[in-house]
Structures are given as structure tokens and as C-alpha cells.
Amino acid sequence: MKHFPIYLAVEDRKIVVSGGGDAALAKLRLLLKTEAKLVVFAADPAAEIKEWAQESRLTLYRRALTRFDLDGAALIYAADEDPIRDAQIVALATEGGHLVNVVDNLEDSAFITPAIVDRDPVTVAIGTEGAAPVLARAIKARLEEQLPQSTGVLARLGKAFRPLAEKLPFGRARRDFWADYYFQSGPAALEKGGNTAVPPALETLLQDHLAKGEAAGRVDVVGAGPGDPDLLTMKARRLLDEADVVIHDRLVSPQIMELARREAHIINVGKTGFGPSTPQEKIHDLMIEHARAGAHVVRLKGGDPGIFGRLDEELDALTAAGIDWRVVPGITAASAAVAQIGQSLTKRGRNASARLLTGHDVKGFADHDWRALAQAGQVAAIYMGKRSARFVQGRLLMHGADAAMPVSVVENVSRSDTCVRSATLADLPDVLQGIEGPAVILLGLAPRAAAEFIEYNPQLREQV
Ligand code: SAH
């Protein structure tokens, strides 16, 4: 180890930065997070630096620094991006016994600044001694994902609680308590009631753990997005990592299920085992049963749980059973579908609202405001619309829609086997032929680029 990582006390101490360009800006953005007194020397500072000076966030001297300017400096950054100037500053700093960093110059630096994951007061510093900056960035990205933004707030609030937590026996019991606080009860309390909800939640949690150790079970109803694991929210990703039990629908892609904790109990309620589709009541029973047994249940649904997801029925059942729940939104199929064809759901001057429709509801084909939908420029995304396509076409034409109204069908949105078909209202049912995966029908939108359409339709490519 050629560099020893330490945390330096910088509150009210002077940190000097020489330079006013991009390198100085990058360092200053980081340094502004500290409580140090920042002093910048730059003859021609960037506009942002001038603004920070005006806001008294730093002191700016529009000249080169001299040895006297370094008095009392805890750290010095040579960020002029000029080797001659850098060398002068290194000489001055060394002479005065100061720690100096030359931006992007490991050799001449007495210290280096790590990559930082900031959840103040929790900070993680990552350094590779200049060997692998790409690796440092990758590690940082991974940690950013794993540490919720609330970590810092929770650490601050938890600190005051440490003496009380000593009522728990040292070792596993105390570790479990804190793990529960940082990754489950704490974030949940923060989300529901803000900072003031955290101390009472800590108190309750402590009583629970004192009583029997085990935390109560709960259910997180989580949106898994349309299929591409990269379209999961960070929160969904983390919950999948933590869950004891994952109850998922058929629409959730296998790649996403790969992300669930290896030890988790995975229950597919969309396919064989429970039959073609598990009755809703059975799903409620499963969630309740596992949560009652103390499990952290993730109820994973395709897209967004609040869009054609029977969310209310599940939440009502959980509430009636007295089980704690939370909802985590996801990217819905319509959002991902329009993104894929390069269009937007709403557009200035075209449509000020967009509709999300279902092709059929509990009573059969679903009825809608066909007259409004038939107007030129309207946009609607039809979910579960394959079987009702002819019905939809008929209703729209009957209400005066133009047969040339553009229609796009996006199958398996965001997945590697995705397919986009471009059509018009006139050929709506036909264009759906052969589509086997889940598909969104976008009324009123054509794919932005014809090339894209061709790319996803090998048959058509042959014809062109
Ligand atoms: N809650 C989901 C929708 C569930 S209803 C969401 O927000 O996306 C099921 C319908 O959603 C399917 O019939 C289909 O129309 C649409 N859908 C879901 N995932 C899809 C995908 N990856 N590609 C295309 N359509 C999808």
C-alpha cells in the first residue's frame, strides 16, 4: 500500500486551490461538500467559481498564489493544468511542509483524492493508487446502488440511539437490530413520515428486538419494469437483494429474477405449478402467510404495480390482515414502448393528454370514450389489447376516426426479442398476427424512424 487512506479533519481549515479551469472546477465541486474554508487563486476563473465566490462559498483571488498564501493550509491542489505552474506550486508547498496534490499527476502528488460515495456522515473512499480508474468508477457505481440516499440521515439519527441499543446483548442480536434499522425499518420510517418518524421507529424496533429479536414481516409491492434489468429502479434492485420471499408474475423477465437473492424463496404465481394464473385470493394468502411468518416479501409485478396491476386488491388484503406494506413504482410498458420507437406520450401542439387503456376488463371488452379517442392527434396506449383489437378498430372507425391513423405495436418492450410493427388503424387486427409476447398497442403514434421499423422486422427488410 503506497497510499494510506485516512479521513482528514477539515472543518474550518484552509484548503487552497490554484487554477480556475475544468480541473479546478471538478475538485471544487467535491471540496464544496466539506466544511473547509476554500481559497482559490485564478487569474481567469470559470463563471461558476465566480458565482461560488459571490455566494461566499469560497474566497477568490484573481491572481497567482504566493508562498504567503499557503500559511495554515491543510491541503493544496495544483489545478492550473500547466506543468510549469504545477511544479512551482509543488516547490512552494514542499518548502512550507504542506500536503499538495497535482491534478492528474500521481507522481508529484503528496496525496490523492479518492472516488467518494457520499452519504454524509457515511462516506466511502475508493482508491486504486492510479492503477485502475475505471475499476474505481465501477466500484463506486455499485456502492451508489447499494447504499440508499437515506443512509446518511439514518446514520446521524441512529448515532444518538447507540447507548439505548446497548440494552441488546452484544453480538448478533445488536447487529441484527442495526441491520434492520439501516436497511428496512429506518428507510421505511423515513419514507412514510420523514426524519421525525425515525426516533419512534427506532424505539419500536428496539422493543421488538428486545422482546424476541425477530423483526415483523412485511410486503413490498415492487414494479419490475418492462423486462430489461437496467430499467429496474435502484430500490427494486436492492429489495430483490434483501427479500426472503419473492412472489412474481409471469411478466417479470427471467433476467430480473436472476437478481433475487440466491437463498430467497421464489414463487411464480403466473405459470404452471399454480396453473395458468393463480387466483387473486391465493396470491393474497401467500403474501399474508409469509409476512406473518416474519418474512420480508417482495411482491414483484411487471411494469408499474399501479397500472393494470390489481394493486388495490392486494393492498386492501394486506391492510385487512394488518401487514405492513410499501409500494415501489416501476417503468410501465407504455413509457418504455414510446421510448423504444422514439416518440413521446404527450407533445406540445399535438396532444395535451394521453390515455392508458385496457383492451378488456372484468366485464369483457372495455368501453372507452371512443368519440374523444377518434380525434386526430390523440394518443393512447392499449394494454392487454390483442384480443380486443378488432373491437377497438370498429368502435374508433364508427366514431369517425381516420383509417390512416398511425398505430404502432411494440412486442416484448425492452427485451432482446422485441419487435416493433408500424401500421394504421385500417390494419389493426392483422398487424397483430403472430405476436406471442406481451405487446402494447400505441394509437396515434408511428415509429419516429423508418429504419428502426425495418430493423425490428426482418421480413420487411427482405422486401425493401
Ligand atoms: N403493470 C404493467 C401492465 C400489466 S397489464 C405495466 O405497468 O406495464 C399486462 C399488459 O401490459 C400486457 O398485456 C401488455 O399489453 C403490457 N406489457 C407488459 N409488459 C410488456 C412488455 N415488456 N412489452 C410489451 N407490453 C407489455
Tell the residue nearest (CA) to atom 16 of ligand 1.
383
Among 48, 44, 21, residue whose Cα is nearest residue 32: 48
Of 190, 212, 234, which one is at a domain's C-terminal end?
Answer: 212
Residue 125 covered by a domain? no
The structural domain count of the chain equals 4
Render pLDDT for 424-440 as a digit per residue (tens, 0 to 9): 999 999 999 999 999 99
Domain of 26, CATH number, reads: 3.40.50.720
pLDDT band at 217 (very low <50, low <70, confident <90, very high): confident
Residue type, 316: D
Catalytic residue among 192, 271, 282, 347: 271
pLDDT: is 450 or 300 the higher one? 300
Residue 267 covered by a domain? yes
455 with 350, same domain: the answer is yes
Domain of 258, CATH number, reads: 3.40.1010.10
For ligand 1, whether the C-beta of 226 sits within 6 Å is: yes
Residue type, 193: G
pLDDT at position 221 over 80? yes
224 with 292, same domain: the answer is yes
339 with 456, same domain: the answer is yes
CB 223 within 8 Å of CB 328: yes
Residue 143 covered by a domain? no
Tell the residue nearest (CA) to atom 13 of ligand 1.
384
Residue 109 covered by a domain? yes
Tell me which residue has cell 447507548: 163
pLDDT at position 460 over 80? no
Give, for 314, the enclosing helix (H) or strand (E). Answer: helix 311-320
Please say whether the dihedral angle defined by the alpha carbons of residues 189, 192, 193 and 194, taken in this order, is positive or negative.
positive
Question: How far is it, in rounded angstroms, from Cα 334 to Cα 318?
Answer: 28
350 with 444, same domain: the answer is yes
Please tell me the predicted confidence (pLDDT) of residue 273: 43
385 with 342, same domain: the answer is yes
Of 212, 227, 248, which one is at a domain's C-terminal end?
Answer: 212
CB 308 within 8 Å of CB 229: no
Contacts 24+ apart (CB under 8 A), 289-292: 290/217, 290/244, 290/245, 290/247, 290/265, 291/217, 291/218, 291/219, 291/318, 291/321, 291/323, 291/324, 292/217, 292/321, 292/323
pLDDT at position 414 over 60? yes
For ligand 1, whether the C-beta of 251 sits within 6 Å is: yes
* CA 305 to ligand 1: nearest atom: 1
229 with 186, same domain: the answer is no
Alpha helices in 341-384 (DSSP H): 370-373
pLDDT at position 420 over 90? yes
Given its phi and psi angles, is residue 216 left (phi above 0), alpha (psi -120 to 50 degrees) or beta? Answer: beta
Render pLDDT for 360-410 as a digit per residue (tens, 0 to 9): 877 788 889 999 999 999 999 999 999 999 999 999 999 999 999 999 999
Please tell me the predicted confidence (pLDDT) of residue 65: 95
Please tell me the predicted confidence (pLDDT) of residue 295: 86
Pocket probe mutation, ligand 1, options 222, 313, 440, max atoms within 8 Å of Cβ: 440
Of 303, 331, 359, which one is at a domain's C-terminal end?
Answer: 331
Please tell me the predicted confidence (pLDDT) of residue 148: 81
Residue 124 covered by a domain? no
Longest dimension (CA), the chain: 88
| β-bridge pairing 419-424 and 406-411 | antiparallel
Catalytic residue among 69, 80, 180, 249: 249
The percentage of the chain sitting over the pLDDT mark of 90, rounded to a whole number, equals 77
CB 204 within 8 Å of CB 216: no
pLDDT band at 214 (very low <50, low <70, confident <90, very high): low
Range of the domain at 43: 14-113
Residue 135 covered by a domain? no
**Can 249 be counted among the known catalytic residues?**
yes
C-alpha cell at 240: 430483490
For ligand 1, whether the C-beta of 186 sits within 6 Å is: no
* CA 251 to ligand 1: nearest atom: 19
Please tell me the predicted confidence (pLDDT) of residue 251: 87
359 with 294, same domain: the answer is no
Which whole number is the average pLDDT over 238-267? 90
Domain of 398, CATH number, reads: 3.30.950.10
Q: Give the distance (Å) from ligand 1 centre to CA of residue 311.
A: 14
Q: Please report, to the nearest 10 degrees, the dihedral formed by the alpha carbons of residues 42, 45, 50, 52 taken in order.
A: -70
Render pLDDT for 47-98 as a digit per residue (tens, 0 to 9): 999 999 999 999 999 999 999 999 999 999 999 999 999 999 999 999 999 9
pLDDT at position 296 over 70? yes
pLDDT at position 463 over 50? no
pLDDT: is 88 or 211 the higher one? 88
235 with 195, same domain: the answer is no
**Can 159 be counted among the known catalytic residues?**
no
Residue type, 226: P
pLDDT at position 124 over 50? yes
Question: How far is it, in rounded angstroms, from Cα 188 to Cα 150?
Answer: 10
78 with 37, same domain: the answer is yes
383 with 430, same domain: the answer is yes
Average confidence score pLDDT of the chain: 91
380 with 450, same domain: the answer is yes
Tell the residue nearest (CA) to atom 18 of ligand 1.
333
Please tell me the predicted confidence (pLDDT) of residue 212: 65
Which whole number is the average pLDDT over 155-173? 83
pLDDT at position 200 over 50? yes
235-244, 262-271, 272-281: segment of lowest average pLDDT: 272-281
Q: What is the pTM of this model?
A: 0.63
Tell the residue nearest (CA) to atom 4 of ligand 1.
308
Please tell me the predicted confidence (pLDDT) of residue 131: 86
pLDDT band at 461 (very low <50, low <70, confident <90, very high): very low
Please tell me the predicted confidence (pLDDT) of residue 441: 97
57 with 92, same domain: the answer is yes
On the 0-12 / 13-18 / 19+ scale of CB atoms within 10 A, 174 is: middle
Residue 118 covered by a domain? no
Residue 281 covered by a domain? yes
For ligand 1, whether the C-beta of 308 sits within 6 Å is: yes
